[in-house]
Amino acid sequence: MTSGFDFAERYFPGDDVTDMLYREPGMWLSAPATGHARAPGEQFAYSSGDINTASLMWQQSLGDQTYPDWIDAHFGRPLGIREMVLEPDASGIQVGSSYAYLTPRDWALMGQLWLDAWHGRSPIISQDWQRLAVTPGTANNGEIYGLGFWLNTGHRAFPSAPESTFHAGGNSGQFVAVLPERELVVVRLGLTLNESRADMDALLADLLAIIE
C-alpha cells in the first residue's frame, strides 16, 4: 500500500480498479502500468492493484506448486475449511484483491486463526508474524493499516471496539473483525450499498453489550 504507483482506488467506469477487474487479462500489471506518482514508502494509499502485483510475486515463489494446492495444504485442511473458491485472472494468477468466496463459517475460521495467533496458540501463524501484520505502517497516513488488515488505531474505524481490534474489509459491507481481548470474531457478509463502518461499529457495540 506504499508502492507509490499512481493507481486510483475508485470504482466507476473507466477508473483504474474497474479496468483492472474487467478489462485486464493480467491484473497484476495494472498498478505498475500507472507509473509512480510518489516515492515508494512515502505515502499510504489503499490499492487493490498493489495487492494483485504482490499476488504475482507470491505465486512465483511457489515454484511448481499451484496456489490452490498451497493454500489448501497450509490453511484449508488444517483449519477444516469446507468450501473455498479463489478465482484467478485470465493469465492464471490468483486475484489477491477480490474473488475469494468462503461460507460465513469458513470466514470465521480464518478470523479465529488470527485471533489464536494473537494469543500465541496458533500452530499455523506465529505470534511474531501476527504482531507484524497488525503493526501500523510508518508511511504518511499509514497508522490505520498493517499487512492486509485495517487497524483500530489512530482514527479508529470502530470506536466501540478495543484498540487492539483489527479487521479485513471487503466490498459493500463485508467484514471479518477480530477482537482478541474479547476472544471474539465477527463475520458480516452480504451486499450493502452505501455501507459505512459506523454500521459495523454499531453491530460490534451491540455484540459487546450482550457478552459483557
| Beta carbons of 5 and 47 less than 8 angstroms apart | yes
Cα 181 to chain center, whole Å?
21
**CA-CA distance, 27 to 211, in Å (whole number)?**
43
pLDDT for residue 190:
84
Closest CA to 183 of 207, 150, 206: 207
Beta strands in the chain (DSSP E): 84-86, 100-102, 150-151, 166-169, 175-179, 184-188
Mean pLDDT by 10 residues, the chain (212 residues): 94 94 95 95 94 95 90 95 93 94 96 98 97 94 93 90 95 93 95 78 95 84
pLDDT for residue 212:
79
How is domain 103-212 classified at the architecture level of CATH?
A: 3-Layer(aba) Sandwich (3.40)
CATH code 3.40.710.10 region(s) in the chain: 103-212
Dihedral, CA of residue 197, residue 200, residue 201 and residue 202, to nearest 10 = 130
Three-state DSSP class for residue 159 = coil
Strand order of the β-sheet with 175-179 is: 150-151, 166-169, 175-179, 184-188
pLDDT for residue 194:
73
pLDDT for residue 151:
97
